[in-house]
A and B are shown apart, each in its own frame.
Chain A
């Protein structure tokens, strides 16, 4: 699991690569803490290369979303695959995030 973070002005893009399962979520939780610093602006989570997400990964997403909500920013989830979309559906996350193709 790898995260590439790129910040330009108020727009922060995080590219998620690999499987965000439970162990991976532990690994990248520090990266997500870093991302939360930019929560006042717009954060795009680019999921083009994200294969899988577990509830631990969803928790990271939700924590970031909460930080953005408190700081007045927003979180855009971009290009999720079919499996992840169904997980988003089952958990109601589709309504919590702005989803971009």
Chain B
């Protein structure tokens, strides 16, 4: 498991503990409230029960009392006593039986008389007599106590043996005759069943049960029928798993009201008790704790479930949060990696453009300064330059688009430029070759605008070809302006496009200023462009101030565009390349010329001509021999290839020298042929692998300091230069 998951687990745990503590506190306080609630409910119940009992007993007592005077009156007509009983039972539904029991011996003829009326199960009345031999009524409690107390009396509960085996209580009053002598006892029996029914209907809680004790502590109502009529103490003896009933008994018998906890059949219960003063009974309600707290328990379960749900959601959220974090972290890592790679790519790309300036500190004929500023890490601009055969090959280009795709094309274009120009000196042909390669399988439809120039450093002639790029500026002693360019397509657009070549003479001190559209299309925050006019104005200003140094021109142009753009973000790659031609022609110290026909037999004449020139310019024999060889190779080449076989043509060789160089210019009017365009021979190959040809041009390159071919006005012009010793 990862570290983050542990953290999540810890968080969930803390949340769980907090929730648990909260719910515990809530539970604790709720418990007290619920207990109070239970107490209130139980007391209310007891009150209702008390009132009900009072109601029933009052009814019973009233029924008896109201009949006392009739009973008294009937003493004179003993046979009608039973009618009194009948009326009581009939008129009072709560009364199940009634008797008028005469004091023994009150009537001379009937020593014992106790007519009894009870209600059958079907509601009809039955007449009985209690004056039987088995039932010694004069000694029954209900008979003796009222006489003894001289008032109404509620009997203890007893089982009615004569009647219907039901538990009942009896209210009895003494009846006196006109003389005030106690003559009889009038009673009404009520069954305890209604008490049981009453308490069982008092469902303050589903399993609440009532207990009612008589004056003497007999159980009249109980949830367990086994202990009916027994003492409350029997809750312990008869039933198992009961606790605390002795205390309850004591409190109830003392006529107290209150509550306590007991265990009834193994279940913890609350008991609320209260006396019923009127009858001397005591009443209690037993409620299982689980009933009291059922709602709380259910509430607790609901809360727990909600908590679990909440915790699960919290855990889920945490996990997804952590996942997101991890994802974000991964993304960040990826981004960092890409950024790193982009930095590397930038370094690679930057290393591909020339960056050592001045590039030719030892040359007095050319000075170059270039600068590439990509808008992003990598860009699609490129520039390049190098000197081969005393020619400065240079190019500037802008790949369509920006960023990585453009940079890939930039790299390819740059590499191709070098490869192709290594043995191709004409800018239009260089661009044709580039176009051929780039327009093949160009599925991404990228294209490159490009300007390629070839400046002959000896003569100052510049050949150039423009493939859809912005026209360079020429800034020189005579003025500043745009170089005229043909409208060629950019490379990569259309295969087989015929690129046109142009040519111009670059005067000494003149600067060729090349740039990409990052300059003239640079935007400020108002999306206004720098525009070509500003570039030209700046060029003219530089021209007037005679500021021709490439570094100065690029620097001032950069400052101008920067102050225009100000705070706006650079939107496109910006590249500038300034090339100054600084050669000044020197006076010739030697000049001879020779014209030969294209006949190999004329070679010895050439040898003499060359040897004379070498001798006149101070070359020793060894170098002279080499120059001779080079010239022979060059001229033989022309003789062999310039003119068709067996046709005669002339070859003119001019030798000229200034203070520093000896030059031979070989010209002919034959078919165009550029010997410098031949690929270099590989002199490291074995004899088997080496080709027979190519040695001549190789020797020329080895011996001479500079070789240059030009096609000028229908002439092949080949120049071989050797620096003076």
Contacts and interface: CB of A to CB of B under 8 A. Distances in A.
Binding partners A and B? yes
Interface of A: 21-23, 26, 52, 54-56, 58-59, 62-63, 65-66, 69-70, 82-83, 86-87, 90-92, 95-96
Given A22-B603, A87-B699, 20 more contacts: A21-B603, A23-B604, A52-B625, A54-B632, A54-B633, A54-B696, A55-B633, A58-B695, A59-B693, A62-B692, A69-B687, A69-B688, A82-B622, A86-B626, A87-B626, A90-B702, A92-B684, A96-B686, A96-B687, A96-B690
8 contacts: A54-B636, A70-B688, A82-B622, A86-B622, A91-B695, A91-B699, A95-B684, A96-B690
Nearest to B625: A83
A90 B704 CA distance: 12
B695 A59 contact: yes
Interface in B623-645: 625-626, 628-629, 632-633, 636
Q: How large is the interface on B (under 10, 10 to 19, 20 to 34, 35 or more residues)?
A: 20 to 34
A53 B693 CA distance: 15
A24 to B, nearest CB: 9
B696 A83 contact: no
Contact of A91 (B601, B603, B686, B698): B698
Contacts of B628: 52
B166 interface: no
B653 to A, nearest CB: 15
Nearest to B599: A23
Interface in B674-699: 683-688, 690, 692-693, 695-696, 698-699
Nearest to B688: A69
B633 A23 contact: no
A83 B632 contact: no
B629 A87 contact: yes
Nearest to B640: A22
B317 interface: no
Interface in B690-723: 690, 692-693, 695-696, 698-699, 702-703
A92 B629 CA distance: 16
A30 B693 CA distance: 19
A26 B640 CA distance: 13
Contact of B600 (A22, A58, A69, A92): A22
A52 B684 CA distance: 23
B720 to A, nearest CB: 15
B690 A55 contact: no
A56 B629 CA distance: 11
A20 to B, nearest CB: 11
Interface of B: 600-601, 603-604, 607, 622, 625-626, 628-629, 632-633, 636, 683-688, 690, 692-693, 695-696, 698-699, 702-703
Given A55-B695, A86-B622, A66 B600 contact: no
B95 to A, nearest CB: 148
Contact of B699 (A63, A65, A69, A90): A90
A49 B328 CA distance: 84
Contacts of B625: 52, 83
Nearest to B694: A55
Contacts of A26: 600
Given A21-B603, A91-B699, A92-B683, A56 B636 contact: yes
Contacts of A65: 687
B689 to A, nearest CB: 10
B632 A62 contact: no
In the A-B complex, the 5 residue pairs with the closest CB atoms = A92-B683, A55-B695, A90-B702, A55-B696, A83-B625
Contact of B601 (A23, A56, A96): A23
Contact of A66 (B632, B688, B698): B688
A5 to B, nearest CB: 21
A55 B702 CA distance: 13
Contacts of A21: 603-604, 607, 632
Counting chain B CB atoms within 10 Å of each CB, which of A55, A70, A96 scores highest?
A: A55
A63 B692 contact: yes
A83 B690 CA distance: 23
A21 B625 CA distance: 12
Given A86-B626, A87-B699, A90-B699, A62 B687 contact: yes
Counting chain A CB atoms within 10 Å of each CB, which of B601, B603, B607 scores highest?
A: B603
A88 B632 CA distance: 17
Contacts of B703: 90
Contacts of B687: 62, 65-66, 69, 96
B685 to A, nearest CB: 8
B699 A22 contact: no
Contact of B690 (A22, A23, A52, A62): A62
Given A22-B603, A66-B687, A54 B692 contact: no
A38 B688 CA distance: 18
Nearest to B607: A21
A58 B692 CA distance: 9
Contacts of A23: 600-601, 603-604
Nearest to A96: B687
Contacts of A90: 698-699, 702-703
B688 A83 contact: no
Contact of B692 (A59, A70, A83): A59
B91 to A, nearest CB: 152
Nearest to A24: B603
Contacts of A55: 633, 695-696, 699
A66 B683 CA distance: 15
Nearest to A90: B702
Counting chain B CB atoms within 10 Å of each CB, which of A70, A82, A86 scores highest?
A: A86
Given A62-B687, A86-B626, A92-B684, A22 B632 contact: yes
Contacts of A92: 683-685, 690
Contacts of A59: 692-693, 695
Contacts of B692: 59, 62-63
A65 B686 CA distance: 10
A19 B633 CA distance: 14
A83 B636 CA distance: 20
B481 to A, nearest CB: 47
A56 B217 CA distance: 151
Contacts of A69: 687-688
B683 A91 contact: yes
A42 to B, nearest CB: 15
A19 to B, nearest CB: 9
A10 B696 CA distance: 33
A16 B127 CA distance: 178
B407 to A, nearest CB: 40
Counting chain A CB atoms within 10 Å of each CB, which of B636, B684, B685 scores highest?
A: B636
Counting chain A CB atoms within 10 Å of each CB, which of B607, B628, B692 scores highest?
A: B692
Contacts of B693: 59
